[in-house]
Structure 1
Amino acid sequence: MNVLSTLARMHYRLFLSFFLIPTLAFSQTNLIKFSGNPILPLGAPGEWDDTEASHAFVAFDGAAFQMWYSGASQENTYRIGYATSPDGLSWTKDATNPVLDVGGANSFDGFNLWTPHVYADESGYQMWYSGGLTISGIGYATSPDPSSWIRQSSQPVLEKGNSGMWDEDYAYLPIILRNGSSYQMWYTGRSADGLVQTGYATSTDGMYWSKHANNPVLSVGGPGEWDSDGASAGSVLFEDGQYHMWYSNWSNPITNIKIGYATSTDGINWIKHAENPILQPASGGWDAKNVWFPTVVKDGHRYRMWYTGTVPGTSLDRLGYAEDFSKAAHVDSMWVSRKTAVAGLHTNEFYAHIANPHNENLTARALIVNDGGSLNASIELKLIHNETDLWRGKWLIPDNPDNYSVSVELTNHSANYVHNSFDWGLFDEFHSNARTHSFTEHAHIADGSGGAAGFGVAVSSDGTVFLANYSDGLRAYRYDGTSFTNTAHIDDGGNAAIASSVFINTNGTIFLANGGDGLRAYTYDGHLFTNTAHVNNSGFTQSVVVAPDDSTVFLAGSTPGLQAYHYDGHAFTSLGSIDDGGPDVSAGDVFVAPDGTVYLANGFDGLRVYTFDGTSFTNTANDSASAHAVAVAPDNTIFVGGCDGLRAYTYNGTSLTRMAEFEMRGCAFSGALALATDGTVFLTIAADVFVQDPGLWAFQYENDLFRNTAYNPPDGFGIALGQDGTVFHAGRQGLFAYTYNMTTGVNEKISAVPEKFKLEQNYPNPFNPTTTIEFALAESGIVTLKVYNVLGAEVATLVEGRKGAGRHTISFEAAGLASGLYYYTLTAGEFRQSRKMVLLR
């Protein structure tokens, strides 16, 4: 490639684009830093740029990038180097570097030269650069190619001002635009009292310059404003009849320098952006001290900035990259459907909101990387039918358990660039685990005919198993470890009766939720059932439970949704009822905690929590996600089975907090939950046209994380646990008895207690207004999790106090915060980690 002619064509097209591409107001200010910063590596020890590599000018011809940059082997001894890049991110330094060295001993640039600006046409290359530090001015050199530079003068072509002038201390940092034979320069000057401002000059040949009479043209801000001590231009573009400037403020000492934006119609009278500054030092990291010296390129609909960042605690500078792609095709947000999955069973879905404001030709892929850093898969994403920006792909998770990170790679075929969401802090993570246990069947029985199906099951203290057998009524069985023997059967209620749920209180009374027949109570003598009470207040009853007082009975169903009765051994007396959620809602399950709190799985109305004072219910909390089964553990963790799978909550008396979720494929119509003494959570899933994995599931729940440990495919509605741990499972195929045991030879990768501290990326990201933050603690201790704005000011404290070892999940609601970039930082002992998140309202 002829570099000279390419660069010349680049400038020609650049000036054409100023007049042909419409300006998109303030799309130049939504800058996001590249996660791979700094992008220009230092030289090897002993090389000319082994200490600093920064203060760059970048040119782009539509296919490749060229950079002239300032390098130093010790502080403030800059020379100028040259590098090229196919994408503006990965750079190759020229073998002849430095391409412009310091001048002679008596020249103005004999000690230092830096901040180059290059222009090229068919006649060759021109460079303007800053020379010296205290003896400063702007020098000029020419070259037939990018690297063979010859000074045109030992003196500056633009000198600092005379005594008393606004630029008497120094003049440096040239920015050049050329239109035909006319040159424009914006440069930085400093006065004797330390004010740093921007001046303007013109030339007909690029060597002899006339300063503007009304300099400075970009002045400092007013007292208390962010740029009250300095306004130093770093880059200027001309587009659609308007000049765009990116500039830096100043301070003494030199710290907390930021970048702002301004516009002008004539290059002289500037209007500063109302929301300046637009790029700030990070709250931690390589550029936490300063961000300054920007150079900006318009690449299609993207504004691409290379900037200098100062390493904290030093005055050493490196080169970073930021981009404003808000008006270009890009990944807005992305997420995975499952945070926890079963290796070899589950398919994970990957979603991305992809902005495409100019309807360009795009393709997208989900890049899945495992814990070892290897690319496991590249999955095609497709735009969902009837959606404008939502893309989706699916991946069958491999058999081996692992941790995965997922990002989205977007290829814009129209504009010829690749946008990877990971580079901008947009990615999600999930893990897969192997099943460590299995169910072993020991007995099965299927009594009844026609519509018989095991719906509810309960086990008495003497081991008798009671089965609510749908249209077949109520049955009792003796189980000897290998087989069932039916010892009694009763079918009350006629055609309306649908035996749905059975519960045994401490004195052995059996309560049956009998569908359209209402509620019945029975005694059982080992051979026969005796119906002792019956009540039917209309509606369809689905679940029954007895309070710890052994006499208050709660019944869940259609209308009313939740009822309370007193049972005296002979009759039911209605105490109260409540019907929340609307006429189309049918309550599926009810659970009473030892303290009397009532938890109602209210179908597609969600989970509701009530207190009951003996006559009336008070709804104290609810969660709108569908709820079909509910159970509460001894530690007060609430487990809910819903259409989306299994969830865990905590309840503080006034509100519910979702702590974890295990998502199922399709819609999981949960039948029942049972909790073992060792903490195992058993869940039954009924078969349905929308259900992909009906059957019996087992989970371990530790440290706010579900791990699926076993699965057995026959669908089911009811579940109960014997005192010896036998699992009784009722479904369409009848009643089963299983043992649940650990599987030998299973390699389980995911440990209950994490091996290391880690702060996860929030999800979703960007978010509005709520997002979830997860972190892992290898050991217990004092922990803080705080949120900061881009200025480093703390805006929220999410965690402050002692936390146990394990995985933790926090929900952050950004109420009252403005859109923009935020940082969240986890501190635990000596461990400290920060991540970025974006609030988009």
Structure 2
Amino acid sequence: MKLFSFLFMSLLFSQFSLAQQATNFFPNENGYKWYYKTTMLDSLNQPVDSFAVYTVDSLVGEMTYNGKQAKYFVGKTGALPTIFEQPYLDTSWVALSGNDGSIYFGLGTLSSLLGILDPSVIDSSLGGFVGLLSSVQGWYSAYKFTNPVNSSYTLFTKDTTISYSGTDYPIRFQVKAQRKNDEVVSTPVGSFTCKRFLLNYAVSYMLLGVIPVPIISIDDNHYIAEGKWLVKQIALSTTIDLSFAQLGTFTIPGREVIIQPEFTPPTSVFEGNVAAPAKFNLMQNYPNPFNPTTVIRFTMPNSGYAKGMVYDLLGREIAVLLDGEMAAGNHSLNFNAVGLPSGIYLFRLNAEGGYSSEIKMILNK
């Protein structure tokens, strides 16, 4: 009987382990596409649909990247009316080995969590912040599919110093992860029983060099479904406390990413269509962040005078991209920031009829 029980438990464990293989959660066929909608969350974690952007990721294949055999996929993000004509400009890598799924952590990982904040702008106030992020780029086993529930594991810890107004501050950057209880997640493409992982990104001021005082703490929830990979991701809004450097506190908006059905091109979007747009609309530039060129798109329901200008955050005029009569329809402008330093720039569009709108553009060199 003991032998039978041992064999039964061994078989049960082997079947469980097999079901938790990381490769079971990732699509197999090259050319597989994911469609996502990303919505900003305000300080009360309510969705702000007017700031939604859309992403298409496409699985390309497998390659060796920085020492690991990895699946890689290309992506593009932008407004829904324009995403169909955008090129794939982003590349991401996932390494699958046994029960672990590893992601390549780079500057873009935290930039996406910071939302409207540009790490290079933070770096201008807190010298060394971007260097801190650069020093921890690499592979990390973020998804441990057989890890005990609620048992935390550290991806990395990095101690360094940053400077502000001539003073050096000891800082710790740490990323931890937990596997949480499985959850059923409802999406526009169906319901999935998901593995849920909580990734916590934390930056702390090291008081007396040994006591961590939190500055930034972002909880990023990832929901992974078998055969689909990521179907939902949500990071709630959070507060950054920089009072130790007399910079006060402010809120980083949250974001929610949810898988979508295949996007369908609208019938009347691009230049040359007969139907005129129903209203003025200035769309977010793409790509954003960019280096050094980006495209700005806008629509005009009527013919008339329009002017489009680029400013820096001090209000200084950087470039005039448009100044003249424009026909009704859909238009695009190219902005080349070669020779300009990294940072946030503003594009302001004024048009006949009292229309005025502005977007933030992030130059990240």
Q: TM-score range by the shorter chain?
A: 0.3 to 0.5
TM-score of the pair, normalised by structure 2: 0.35
TM-score of the pair, normalised by structure 1: 0.18
Q: Which has the higher contact order (CA 8 A, sep 6+)?
A: 2
